[in-house]
A and B are shown apart, each in its own frame.
Chain A
Amino acid sequence: MKRIYLDYAATTPTRPEVVKAMLPYFTDAFGNPSAIHSYGQEAKGAVEEARVKVADLIGARDEEIVFTSGGTEADNFAIKGVAYGKESKGNHIITSSIEHHAVIEACKFLERRGFNITYLPVDAYGLVAPDDVRKTITDKTILISVMHANNEMGTIEPIAEIGRIAKEAEIHFHTDAVQTAGHVPVDVDELGVDLLSMSAHKLYGPKGVGALYIRKGTKLVSFMHGGGQERRRRASTENVPGIVGFGKAVELAKQEMNEEAERLSYLRDQLIKSLLERIDRICLNGHPTSRLPNNVNVSIDFVEGESMCLNLDLEGICASTGSACSSASLEPSHILLAMGLSHEQAHGSLRFTLGRWTTEEELARVLDVLPQIVTKLRAMSPLLKSRR
């Protein structure tokens, strides 16, 4: 059976062009960029070339890019780095209730160590209100962190507006752009951010590499202590092949972004429309228009997400759910709950995220298969009966 991959927000395949660009740096050009000899300088040159490409994608200067092991490290670096870098100025951090775990858990870690964290609510579409940010700022506030777009329900947040508020108040502003960089235009000056997290494997690059943009003049402590790599901000021998792959992926993304975003937005809207037509008691999660081009997230009443995903997988279709029956807490997605969904609705959520190789035929197959799965699961659902 030909598999249909619709979980591009979780990870993307590495593009063959990217793999090809990386390969020489495992074997021939394997040098340590810190070394003085030609092998070292060759590797150093490749890393710096990639840095220019990454900086270029987001309108930054190359010296403002620090390579990390991925989005999670970039988020941790930004949040803990500023918290401990500006500890003497204050201990208050503003974030939202729909952030990725990498931000939320970093904040909780700080909370246990005496920092005050405000988790802003969102509306039914998952939007943070910039005015809430303004009202929450105190003279102790040292950092604001709001994600550019949500990984689960796809809502794009009003980052530029929040950026203006942060700038006015002279507070460092971080955004997690893991889902947007390379997919929709991201410009650090337009957004007004001082720190921005990116990840390579979400844009057809390899896993294990990402970057944190750090605006010149932003005060934060180093994340890793050791050698002098990354302008002393992140010690550790550079992941040269990974960084080269990241650079190549970013270069391709920049060339193809606009066309691809348009193609995906069309497919997204078609899929949403058809799902709402073909299945009753279904609703779209997230914002209808301020939305990632590739994200479709719905809640289907009376059925549970993992069962839907397993049934889809049996048909070769790979999707994901915010039902966390498999997580240790058993709690469904904090993101969907923050938007005001009931526990049943959050457990009944299903996410399809489209990508480069998604076709109309693949989505037609989803539309053929999913209604039957829903019917089968509803026939065994005690929830349906109790509401009839």
Chain B
Amino acid sequence: MPDVRSLYSEKVMEHFRNPRNVGEIENPDGIGHVGNPVCGDIMELYIKVNNGTIIDAKFKTFGCGAAIATSSMVTEMVKGKSIEEALGISNRAVAQALDGLPPIKMHCSVLAEEALKSAIEDYLDKSEKRSADGEGERTP
């Protein structure tokens, strides 16, 4: 009989079965929120940044197998990367790291890239604001 799990690669299934970095980061430096209920995939990506390096990343995802696996993979890929390096991570790179996705599921990798970019943008916005406000954490 043909392979019963030919829809997804073994790597996708491995990340789907045991997703890495599930959850939220308390006081994150950046949050990305992408997707919508119409397409059925919603991703939230949290990053913690120290000296321009992403030291932690976590995610929460509502979506299909590919959406969960790409979320898991992208959080693994960004950890330890500088902001510039992280901005260079493309959806293709995420899909490749998972040994490929079915063509119909490539949009999930696009969503993962967008979630990452959105989290980084949020981080950059916040740090701009911080320097405009005159550095440091302010107590209200």
> A interface vs B, CB < 8 Å?
302-304, 306-307, 310, 314, 323-328, 330-332, 342-344, 347, 379-383, 385
Contact = CB atoms under 8 A, between A and B. Distances in A.
A163 B60 CA distance: 50
Contacts of A327: 104
A380 B40 contact: no
B89 interface: no
B38 A307 contact: no
A310 B37 contact: no
Nearest to B43: A382
Given A323-B40, A332-B40, A380 B67 contact: no
Nearest to A303: B62
* Main SS class of interface, A: loop
A379 B22 contact: yes
Contacts of B66: 325
A381 B65 contact: no
A382 B60 contact: yes
A353 to B, nearest CB: 20
Given A310-B64, A343-B40, 8 more contacts: A303-B62, A304-B63, A306-B63, A347-B37, A379-B23, A380-B19, A381-B61, A383-B62
Contact of B42 (A331, A342, A379, A383): A383
A330 B40 contact: yes
A332 B63 CA distance: 12
Contact of B64 (A302, A326, A381): A326
Chain B interface residue number, banded: 20 to 34
B44 A382 contact: yes
A383 B67 CA distance: 15
A301 to B, nearest CB: 10
A266 to B, nearest CB: 31
* Main SS class of interface, B: mixed
A324 B37 CA distance: 12
Interface string B15-31: 01101001110000000
Interface in B25-75: 33, 37-44, 59-68
B39 to A, nearest CB: 4
Contacts of A385: 24, 60
Contacts of A343: 37-38, 40
A342 B40 contact: no
Interface of B: 7, 13, 16-17, 19, 22-24, 33, 37-44, 59-68, 102, 104-105, 107
A323 B66 CA distance: 14
A234 B129 CA distance: 73
20 contacts: A306-B63, A307-B64, A314-B17, A323-B40, A323-B64, A325-B41, A325-B105, A326-B102, A327-B104, A330-B38, A330-B40, A342-B37, A343-B37, A380-B19, A380-B68, A381-B60, A381-B62, A382-B33, A382-B60, A382-B62
A306 B104 CA distance: 14
A385 B12 CA distance: 25
A249 to B, nearest CB: 24
Nearest to B36: A343
A328 to B, nearest CB: 7
Given A314-B17, A331-B38, A347-B40, A306 B64 contact: yes
Given A307-B68, A326-B104, A385-B24, A380 B60 contact: yes
- Centre residue among B13, B42, B64, B107 by max chain A CB count within 10 A: B64
A375 to B, nearest CB: 13
- Centre residue among B17, B19, B33, B65 by max chain A CB count within 10 A: B65
Contacts of B107: 330
B47 to A, nearest CB: 15
A368 to B, nearest CB: 18
Contacts of A326: 7, 64, 102, 104-105
A331 B37 CA distance: 10
Top 3 A-B pairs, shortest CB-CB distance: A325-B64, A306-B64, A343-B37
Contacts of A382: 33, 42-44, 60-62
A385 B42 CA distance: 12
